[in-house]
Amino acid sequence: MRHLLSPLDFTVEELERLMNLARDIETNREKYAHTCEGKKLATLFYEPSTRTRLSFESAMLSLGGSVLGFSSAASSSASKGESVSDTLRMISCYADICAIRHPKEGAAYVGAQAASIPVINAGDGGHQHPTQTLTDLMTIRSLKGRLSNMTVGLCGDLKFGRTVHSLIGALVRYPGIRFVLISPRELRIPDYTRENVLEAAHIPYEEVTSLDEAMPKLDILYMTRVQRERFFSEDEYLRMKDCYILDKNKMSLAKEDMLVLHPLPRVNEISVEVDDDPRAVYFRQVQYGVYIRMALILTLLNMDIEGGKSC
């Protein structure tokens, strides 16, 4: 039995197979429509979510399986004091696979130790968000045709943004990746990412505050929102919240084939006037998220697809 707790739980070759499966699902939806009949996915969301939870549910339903779960800590026994470990032991009796989102870093790891079904980390505090990373990799690979030899700009809240931490960790495994990390000083990437990931792998990167200056260099621009719920003070959030706003003027500084990604939800950091720009792919990214989660469910459930294992 295997889990997905960090994007590094899959080798580059396994990720390649996963994305190939997702691509096949995209082009042959009917072929997969009954592959998970009789299987159940539990979604345990202790933190708000629209995309990730519904994306998992849509993925399982599209495979012919069914879903159960809760969408807030208040509506679960966590409000009575039940531990994540006990909930996961119990859920293992109800479902075949589960996705968990929790405000505490490491919660999915703790839950996986108690579970007897595959556990998917759907976001643990400000730490990791591996299925968003799978979505991001799938989007870049599908639309750029490669995951190597690129300058990737990450902009916004790089301190608390778990999607950023997971994406950096995943991308450093591909050759020729350079990063431009664009944030206010207060929201720079955590030291553990800088030291244990970027510097340990000798990845070229620069930390800058100006989005305008970074724009012309970038092949990918990954925008993120300022993570209000992880700030200790509301005043500090208000001071940071509009630190970057991507608009048409800024887009005019970018390469013709640069792609703009965003894990969503967007607050103010991308002006709606950018949505019609063909380089803005954040809504297409949502669709790729469903295909890659379908591929992930099949893989973790070890389902046979046309006689061959999925991964």
Tokens 């299987």, residue?
39
Residue type, 205: Y
Identify the active-site residue in 2, 17, 23, 51: 51
What is the footprint of ligand NCD within residues 85-124 (CB under 6 A)? 123
How crowded is residue 210: how many other Cβ atoms within 10 Å of its Cβ?
9
Identify the active-site residue in 40, 129, 225, 262: 129
| 195: β partners | none
Buried b (16+ CB within 10 A) or exposed e, 57-84: bbbbebbebbbebbbebeebebeeeeeb
162 counts as binding ligand NCD under rule CB under 6 A: yes
Which residue in the set 71, 163, 183, 193 belongs to the binding site for ligand NCD (CB under 6 A)? 163
Question: C-beta of 129: minimal distance to ligand NCD in Å?
Answer: 5
Of 216 and 265, which has the nearer Cβ to ligand NCD?
265
What is the footprint of ligand NCD within residues 14-43 (CB under 6 A)? none
CA distance 90 to 77: 11
Q: Is 101 a catalytic residue?
A: yes
CA distance 28 to 183: 41
Question: C-beta of 112: minimal distance to ligand NCD in Å?
Answer: 19
Question: C-beta of 87: minimal distance to ligand NCD in Å?
Answer: 20
Q: Is 80 a catalytic residue?
A: yes
- Tell me the CA distances in angstroms from 171 to 40, 120, 174, 200, one per residue in order: 32, 20, 6, 14
Question: C-beta of 1: minimal distance to ligand NCD in Å?
Answer: 25
264 counts as binding ligand NCD under rule CB under 6 A: yes
Q: How many residues bind ligand NCD (CB under 6 A)?
A: 11
- Tell me the CA distances in angstroms from 21 to 31, 138, 246, 287, one per residue in order: 12, 11, 34, 15
| DSSP character at residue 129 | -
Identify the active-site residue in 3, 35, 43, 52: 52
- In total, the chain counts a number of residues equal to 311
What is the footprint of ligand NCD within residues 212-251 (CB under 6 A)? 224-225
Question: C-beta of 58: minimal distance to ligand NCD in Å?
Answer: 14
Please identify every residue annotated as catalytic. 51-52, 80, 101, 129
Footprint of ligand NCD (CB under 6 A): 51-52, 123, 129, 132, 162-163, 224-225, 263-264
